[in-house]
Structures are given as structure tokens and as C-alpha cells.
Structure 1
Amino acid sequence: MPRGPPPPPSASALTALPQLSSAPLPPNPPPPPSVPIVLPQNAPTWLVSAVEDLTRMDLGCHYSLVVAALIPLESAAKYGKDDDGRLPAAQKGPTARPKVLAAWIRAGRGTKSKSQPTVDSLDTFVKEWNGWWDSMQPEWRERNRQGRWRIDPPYRKEWDWGVLETYGVNGILSVVAGIDFWGVAVLSEDDEDQTARWDNAVQDVVWVLEGLESTFKK
């Protein structure tokens, strides 16, 4: 895994990337634009191992933006050194963390096992993900006419991101892992509707990650 100063990803880059659900792909589509994943020299071992684990499979340009946004965010947050919290992880109920994430955490987040947990049912995972993700959104977030979380307003300094401002090994990393496992499962399904649902979630996560990073900028 190469190391060096992390590139400053921008949410505006999403507008320049193809929308996976906007039009059918041509018979031989060109490869998507690459997004470099570069870890800084002082990145902790847990982040290096997790990034290696979560980039084993090429899930396209949008997912690469998720990982590329995580790295400078964790760096700005000092890799959770001043944060002893963890994302909500209720074992039962509509807001519980998806089970596949619990399995990944038990496996050392890619350090104890080379095999990734698998999503057995996409419909079940999507329901679990939506319940968990929605429960963590701050009160000021609004939905658009399609019922998805809005990602168009500019970031504001006064916004309180609540529990999403949780960093380090027990923090926002789990969200990125969930998007990865979901994407791997979508690839095996070859279902346009499932792909569109995943792509919408990916773009929302990128917007949140970059919004969290903006809180560290003066």
C-alpha cells in the first residue's frame, strides 16, 4: 500500500462521475476514472490493514471516493486518539448495526481472517443498513422528493453531526466496511435496482465523510 500525503477528495467530484443508474452501460464500457488511495506515513496499523481489506475488490469510482474520503478524515481526527466512543451497535431492533459488520469486527477488521464476511440476503442487509444509517443521521438532515437524504446543500460550520463524529477503530470505519460488503454482494447479483440502491448509499456516505472532514477546517 503506497503512502504519502492523502489527496484532498471533494464531494464535487461526484458530479463528474457517471451515475450507475442513469443509463444502460454500452457493450464495452471504458474503465471508470481511478481515484488514488494513498495512506499517510503516520497512518496506524488498524487503518492500513482495514484499507487493504476493504479495497481487495474493485467496486468502481464511487466506492473509491468513499475510501479516499475516509483517510483524510481519520487523519484530521488524529485517528480517534482523543475519541473513546464507538458508533451505535444495538444487537436487536430496527436500528441495530448490520450483522455482517459485527462479524467483520469480531474477525479483527481484516487482521485475523483473510476471508471477508458475506451478505447472504441483499434485501435483509439493505433493511438493516437503512435502519442503522438513518438512526445516526443528525436532526437537521432532510430528504429529497425521492425519499433519499439530501446531499446538495453546502456544508455549514454550525452543523452538529452527532454520533457520526466518532473516529478511530470503533468509529466511522464501520460505515465504510458496510458499503464495501454491500457492493461486493451487488456485483454477484447483477441487478440494476440493487446497484442503484447501493450507488445512492455510496454517494450519501461520501457526502457525510467529507462533511465531517469540513468540521476540522478553519
Structure 2
Amino acid sequence: PEWMAAARSFLETGSSAKEWLDIIEKWATCDCLLGHPPATDHKHWMTTVKHPEKICLWIQRGRKYTDVLPLGSTLMFGRSWRQWWVTVQPAWRAKTENQWPLKRDDVDGEQWKDIAKGGANGLFMVLLPLVWW
């Protein structure tokens, strides 16, 4: 989809590190496997519970990649992002809001449906603020 090409280009400005480029590639693959859901598909919206306020402001201002809002304290922004990221995890992966790092073991039979969100309001919304940060 057209939005994804622009989003990918923006994400690539975040870092040239191999690890970051691998994350972008995995995001693109995941979105493809999820069928590139339209932005109007509410099932693919990441929760806004505890998400950084700057994301909401960026959306309200028209989702312009050139319109990067001042983050304020990068430490506080990072904490806010991390708290949101932990909040969206499946219950088996993060037992408490303060758990860090998250469980990484591959647990048989556990589901990722709460985080398997594609489209412009899905996992992209998790990666976007990392570029700002």
C-alpha cells in the first residue's frame, strides 16, 4: 500500500544499524502476513491506553512525517513509550506494568493476537516514536 512505502522510508531515517533495518523488514513482513489491513479496521488499532501523548498529537496534526513534535525530556518519553509497550503485550509476556525486560521465551500455545496489528494504526505506531526518540 502507498502509506506503507512512505512509512517505511520514514522508519529508515531512524538508524542505519542492521538491527533497526531488520526490525523494519520484520514489520513489513508482518503487515503483509496480516493482509495490509486498512486504517479503518479497528481490530488492527493498537491500544491508546498509556500511549505517549505525542503520538496522539502527531495523528491530530495530520500524520506528517516532517512534523516531528518536540519530545521534551527524552528520559520521560522513553519511559512513557516503554510503559505503553508493556501494556500492549499479551498477559503471559508481561505479568506487571513494571516488568522489564519482557519474557522472550517461546511459550507453546500462547497467542500474540493482542499485538498482531497491521496497517497504519497497528505495529507501525509502536515503531514511529522510536524514530523520534
Where does residue 63 of structure 1 map in the other structure?
Answer: 20
Task: Report whether the alignment pairs 1:84 with 2:42.
Answer: yes
Deviation of the 1:63 alpha carbon: 1.4
Unpaired stretches in structure 2, ≥5 consecutive residues: none
Q: Distance in 1 between matches of 2:53 and 2:47?
A: 13
Counterparts in 2 of 1:17-28, with a 5 A limit? none
**Alpha carbons 2:14, 2:132 under 8 Å: kept:** no
Counterpart Cα distance in 1 of 2:41 and 2:107: 23
Structure 1 residue 83 displacement after superposition: 4.2
* CA shift in 2, pair 1:103/1:58, >3 Å: same
In the alignment, what sits opposite 2:68? 116
Summarize the Cα distance change of 1:50–1:147 in structure 2 as closer, same or farther, 3 Å threshold: closer
Residue among 96, 100, 104 paired with 2:58: 104
**Number of residues paired by the alignment?**
128
* Structure 2 CA distance for aligned equivalents of residues 101 and 59 of structure 1: 23
Closer/same/farther in 2, CA of residues 65 and 155 from structure 1, 3 Å limit:
farther
Identity %: 20
The residue type equivalent to 2:71 in the other structure is V
Larger RCO, structure (CA 8 Å, separation 6 or more): 2
Following TM superposition, by how much is the alpha carbon of 1:65 offset from its aligned partner in structure 2, in angstroms?
Answer: 1.5
The structure with the larger Rg is 1
Letter in 1 for 2:42: D
RMSD across aligned C-alpha pairs, in angstroms?
2.5
Q: What is the aligned partner in structure 2 of residue 148 from structure 1? A: 101
